[in-house]
Amino acid sequence: MSLSTGTSQPNEGLILSGINNIYSVYSENSVYLCEIKGKKLIVLDNVYNPLAAGDKVKFSVDLISNTKGMIIERLERQNEFSRWNNKRNSPQTIAANIDYFICVSSAGNPPFRPRFIDRVLVMAESGINVLIVLNKSDIGLDDTTVTRMEDYKRMGYNYIICSAETGENMDKLKEIISGKISAFVGQSGVGKSTLLNVLYPGHELKTGAVSIKHDRGRHTTNYSKLIFEGDGGFIDTPGIREIEIFGIKPDDLGFHFTEFLEFSDTCRFQPCQHNNEPDCGVIKAVENGLIHPDRYESYLRILTSLEQGGAV
């Protein structure tokens, strides 16, 4: 047998983070800095940044340094949360193989944006548990915000209203995610890193004032990072301005709005895009106050983008 390659037999590892195509790969209590062999993983043609925090990979260790390696293959994902990256014109996976997707929003500063949550819910695969977190409750909640959260609950999504600042309901959040791998995702400034610093002290994740970030369009957290904690772990991610939807046919979009389902059966046309069609059960439900008009507006906006964008 030849040992001339200078690398180990392939090991299995877990991607903790990736910056400029250098990935931190965790395996058996060590972390290796790895590149992708040949710059492109065969199964993942045309995908910008084909690896995300939480991905499982096969990699070989460079036997001379014993700290570096080459990623050979990405192993099958149990689930993933991805969006379309307009700048790169390609899908971008934000986190993979997660138990809980924590969609973080804030009661204010930056303003509560249910449309962002709607887009997250459309993109979240059925295999992912989504928890909606409304942070910064100490700022004060208006009635419409609370109503929206109750509306999500009726659709089958759980939510927690909390404050990293005062500690309100932080114990409940901790209870839900402990022992699990969770990914904290949301707009910049909603408090993802601050929440994680309260939930898991000791990692000193960087946090930053909202106003400066808004002015400069910068994010305090600048790359996704998986950190182990007890039997689980968490992924802190950089703020995202928008979730661009992709991979859904316009005819199927209605199936991703769970509260539409009980009404879409009665649409005269099947399939129905619930847009201009006569005798549409969904439009009737909106008119009768059974579907929130803002959810329907989210639906129409995404439908338009799917029809125009071609990112399907």
Ligand X SMILES: Nc1nc2c(ncn2[C@@H]2O[C@H](COP(=O)(O)OP(=O)(O)OP(=O)(O)O)[C@@H](O)[C@H]2O)c(=O)[nH]1
| Binding site residues, Mg ion, CB under 5 A | 192-193, 220-221
Binds ligand X by CB under 6 A, chosen from 60, 85, 220, 273: 220
Which residues form the interface with Zn ion (CB under 5 A)? 267, 272, 274, 280, 282
Binding of ligand X by 209 (CB under 6 A): yes
213 Ramachandran zone, left/alpha/beta (phi>0; psi -120 to 50) = alpha
What does 190 interact with, of Mg ion, Zn ion, ligand X, none (CB < 5 to 8 A by kind)? ligand X
What does 194 interact with, of Zn ion, ligand X, Mg ion, none (CB < 5 to 8 A by kind)? ligand X
Q: Which is nearer to ligand X, 24 or 220 (CB)?
A: 220
Distances (CA, A) of 195 to 10, 60, 125, 178: 37, 36, 24, 14
Binding of ligand X by 219 (CB under 6 A): yes
Q: Which is nearer to ligand X, 33 or 141 (CB)?
A: 141
The Cβ of residue 211 has, within 10 Å, a number of other Cβ atoms equal to 11
The residues, ordered by sequence, that sit 6+ positions from 107 with a Cβ below 8 Å of its Cβ are 134, 135, 136, 137, 139, 140, 141, 145, 161
The residues, ordered by sequence, that sit 6+ positions from 17 with a Cβ below 8 Å of its Cβ are 23, 24, 53, 223, 224, 225, 226
* Residue 191 CB, nearest approach to ligand X (Å): 3
Exposed e or buried b per residue across 14-33, where buried means at least 16 C-beta atoms within 10 angstroms of its C-beta: bbbbbeeeebbbbbeeeebe
Give CA–CA dist 119/294, Å, rounded. Answer: 12
Residues 104-143 that bind ligand X (CB under 6 A): 135-136, 138-139
Window contacting ligand X (CB under 6 A); options: 39-47, 126-134, 162-170, 304-312: 162-170
Binding of ligand X by 192 (CB under 6 A): yes
Binding of ligand X by 193 (CB under 6 A): yes
Positions that interact with ligand X (CB under 6 A): 135-136, 138-139, 163-165, 188-194, 207-210, 213, 219-221, 238-239
